[in-house]
Amino acid sequence: VSDASGCSMIALLHTGAAKFPQNLLSRSRQAVSPLFSAGVLKGFSSIVSRKLASHGFGASMAAMSSFPPQRYHYFLVLDFEATCDKPQIHPQEIIEFPILKLNGRTMEIESTFHMYVQPVVHPQLTPFCTELTGIIQGMVDGQPSLQQVLERVDEWMAKEGLLDPSVKSIFVTCGDWDLKVMLPGQCQYLGLPVADYFKQWINLKKAYSFAMGSWPKNGLLDMNKGLNLQHIGRPHSGIDDCKNIANIMKTLAHRGFIFKQTSKPF
């Protein structure tokens, strides 16, 4: 062994074992074995870790080693808020359109898309809607139409590399309403096409029930409670709900859960 870390001998045993005479290989292994009990290899490991960290690999490697790999490169967390009242108004229109791009290896948020949308059929928000969502009239007045927002979503998807066929991504929602009912229903009403990437998703409620063995009757509140997580922001704020969904997903992933598509193909 050439130095205190035992690096030269260890490297030799790993890279040159095939060419090493068997009698010498046996003696070398005997010489190195005390290093394991003495903790030298532990020190060597920490040296490697520090070297990797200096090149920016430390955090990502730690994150990747802490839970099994997911089936998707990215999860696109989405949660609409829409016009509403009691009794319900028709048609409902999306007024908040947030998406969080979640890295499938680290389960960390990499990018955010967030826009408010101008409703056109019922342009005036009801007091019930404002109280529920926290969205006031001034936040939607003068904002782009749904058609314009969908165009910007597509531009954002392209910029983030999510339209590359080799990149696997999928939307994640808290329930099936957002992508099974709300978006296709409003697009049909307005005569707008629905992009294919909106046609498959993961329902977090179903994923949670598979992982935890119980159905979250009260949605995000029950899931946060079941995982001992603090609720982020205010309920029924689209962007805050997305952050809660991302936090729940990260927690389940760290527990070893593998997320799979729950929606049926259109």
Determine which one of 81, 93, 96, 160 is catalytic: 81
Farthest-apart Cα atoms in the chain, separation: 86
User: Is pLDDT at 114 greater than 60 in this prediction?
Assistant: yes
The CA angle 244-249-251, to the nearest 5 degrees, is 95
Q: With residue 100 as reference, give the H or E element that holds it.
A: strand 94-103
User: Is pLDDT at 18 greater than 50 in this prediction?
Assistant: no
Strand partners of residue 75: 102, 170
State percent of the chain over pLDDT 90: 73
| Per-residue pLDDT at 184 | 98
Domains of the chain: 74-255 (3.30.420.10)
Span 72-79, mean pLDDT? 98
Residue 122 is a catalytic residue? no
Residue 236 is a catalytic residue? yes
Chain CA centroid to CA 164, Å: 18
User: Is pLDDT at 265 greater than 50 in this prediction?
Assistant: yes
pLDDT, the chain, mean:
83
Q: Quick count: other Cβ atoms within 10 Å of Cβ 121?
A: 13
In b/e form, how buried is each residue of 68-83, taking b as 16+ CB within 10 angstroms?
A: eebebbbbbbbbbbbb
| Per-residue pLDDT at 68 | 87
Determine which one of 93, 96, 160, 236 is catalytic: 236
Amino acid at 21: P
User: Is pLDDT at 45 greater than 60 in this prediction?
Assistant: no
pTM for the full model?
0.76
User: Quick one: which of 87, 98, 142 has its CA closest to 119?
Assistant: 142
CA distance 8 to 27: 15
User: Is pLDDT at 48 greater than 50 in this prediction?
Assistant: no
